[in-house]
Amino acid sequence: MELKRLGASGVMVPEIGLGTWRYSGGSEPLRRGIELGATLIDTAEMYRTEDQVGEAIAGIREQVFIATKVLGSNLRYDAVLRAADKSLRLLGIDKIDLYQIHWPNPSVPITETMRAMERLVSDGLVGYIGVSNFSVEDMMDAQSAMQNNPIVSNQILYNLRRRRAERDVIPYCREHDIMVMAYSPLHEGALVGNGGGRLRRALRLGGDQQVLAEIADETGKTAAQVALNWVADQEGVIAIPKSNSVARTEENCAASGWRLTADQRQRLDRAFAV
Ligand SMILES: NC(=O)c1ccc[n+]([C@@H]2O[C@H](COP(=O)([O-])OP(=O)(O)OC[C@H]3O[C@@H](n4cnc5c(N)ncnc54)[C@H](OP(=O)(O)O)[C@@H]3O)[C@@H](O)[C@H]2O)c1
């Protein structure tokens, strides 16, 4: 598993982590992922999966980097502290490695939220502070509201079909040493014909997926591995796919440790144009 630096923290994290939104796989897929080096687990108070994560990491906590999130509706000072306390209890740990603000909330002054986030760090309950779904302006405001800590990551929607962040958020993050954590890297499964539901119906099953299939053939990898590798190959970006299955978790972990050729990247970039 290739590692990347978590922004200014200097901590190294795997380029493929484990997402847990709508996760119902129990301990096994997460434990297998950890064995394979996917030692970053992403959860959130919103997902109601912190307890499952807690069970999966029992006894191996020191091997895992735990990222969770406070809801955008819990960003008042006291609410942040309460939410962190609840997450710590559900996860069964005494420190959250990365605490992220799930969504910006313009009705709460960012200075108030960041004061609480920094208090959690100084109290030893949180290692590093991250954000999610923050625009460039949101990140600038959040960073200026902090006294002693850098924002180390921004978790955003990013995959072959959703590349808007390439215009502004990703370049800004690179310039300011903020790691990008790409969520829904498989477009909720729709990129690889899985996941059912809304996104699959909305898909244009066209030439772009043909190119993905061709490159999977050429590399001897699966379409999911190609799609994840395309994300994780980018400077300062990691991917956090979610899977309820051990087999697909193994498949996703094997998306690291090799690289697409420049020509293959270009063909994907062209087929899935922004
Ligand atoms: N910050 C935010 O606002 C936000 C928003 C969305 C997501 N996230 C985070 O990002 C994580 C990942 O995003 P996501 O869960 O939305 O979508 P995703 O990882 O892009 O896709 C998950 C879907 O793909 C399927 N899948 C996984 N691996 C596969 C493979 N190798 N082949 C075929 N299908 C595969 C899964 O099914 P199975 O489970 O059946 O394998 C599931 O249906 C979340 O779990 C969460 O931690 C954050």
CA of 111 to the centre of ligand 1 (A): 32
Q: Tell me, what's the pLDDT at 197?
A: 46
Q: For 33-83, what is each residue's pLDDT tens digit?
A: 999 999 999 999 999 999 999 999 999 999 999 999 999 999 999 999 999
Q: Lowest-pLDDT range, 45-54, 134-143, 196-205, 243-252? A: 196-205
Q: Is residue 207 part of a domain?
A: no
| CB of 83 sitting under 6 A from ligand 1 | no
Q: What total of structural domains would you count in the chain?
A: 1
Q: For 93-126, what is each residue's pLDDT tens digit?
A: 999 999 999 999 999 999 999 999 999 999 999 9
Q: Tell me, what's the pLDDT at 157?
A: 98
241: containing domain: 3-201+227-258
Q: Is residue 171 part of a domain?
A: yes
- Identify whether 158 is a catalytic site residue: no
Whole-model pTM over 0.85: yes
Bridge partners of 12, per DSSP, are 5
Neighbours of 205 (CB within 10 A): 10
CA of 213 to the centre of ligand 1 (A): 20
Q: Tell me, what's the pLDDT at 195?
A: 53
With 0-12 / 13-18 / 19 or more C-beta atoms within 10 angstroms meaning exposed / middle / buried, residue 148 is: exposed
Which residues are CB-contacts of 265 (< 8 A; sequence separation ≥ 6)? Answer: 230, 233
Of all protein residues, the one whose alpha carbon is nearest to atom 25 of ligand 1 is 189
Q: Is residue 215 part of a domain?
A: no
For residue 4, is pLDDT > 50?
yes
What percent of the chain has pLDDT above 70?
A: 95
CATH number of the structural domain spanning residue 237: 3.20.20.100
Instruction: Please give, one letter per residue, the 3-state secondary structure of the chain.
Output: CCEEECHHHCCEEECECEECCCCCCCHHHHHHHHHCCCCEEECCHHHCCHHHHHHHHCCCHHHCEEEEEECCCCCCHHHHHHHHHHHHHHHCCCCEEEEEECCCCCCCCHHHHHHHHHHHHHCCCEEEEEEECCCHHHHHHHHHCCCCCCEEEEEEECECCECHHHCCHHHHHHHCCCEEEEECCCCCCHHHCCCCHHHHHHCCCCHHHHHHHHHHHHHCCCHHHHHHHHHHCCCCEEECCCCCCHHHHHHHHCCCCCCCCHHHHHHHHHHCCC
Q: Is residue 211 part of a domain?
A: no
Measured distance CA(97)–CA(127) in Å, rounded: 5
CA of 146 to the centre of ligand 1 (A): 32
Q: Tell me, what's the pLDDT at 194?
A: 64
Token pair belonging to 161:
């079909």
Q: Is residue 85 part of a domain?
A: yes
Mean pLDDT computed over 150-173: 97
Q: For 183-242, what is each residue's pLDDT tens digit?
A: 999 999 998 876 544 444 445 556 678 899 999 999 999 999 999 999 999 999 999 999
Max CA-CA distance within the chain? 54
Q: Is residue 126 part of a domain?
A: yes
Q: Is residue 155 part of a domain?
A: yes
CA of 218 to the centre of ligand 1 (A): 25
Q: Which of 52, 243, 249, 250 to mutate to test the pocket of ligand 1 (most atoms within 8 A of CB)?
A: 243
| CB of 199 sitting under 6 A from ligand 1 | no
Q: Is residue 247 part of a domain?
A: yes
Q: For 30-43, what is each residue's pLDDT tens digit?
A: 999 999 999 999 99
Of all protein residues, the one whose alpha carbon is nearest to atom 29 of ligand 1 is 248
For residue 13, is pLDDT > 60?
yes
Which residues are CB-contacts of 67 (< 8 A; sequence separation ≥ 6)? Answer: 17, 40, 41, 42, 43, 96, 97, 98, 99, 100, 130, 153, 155, 181
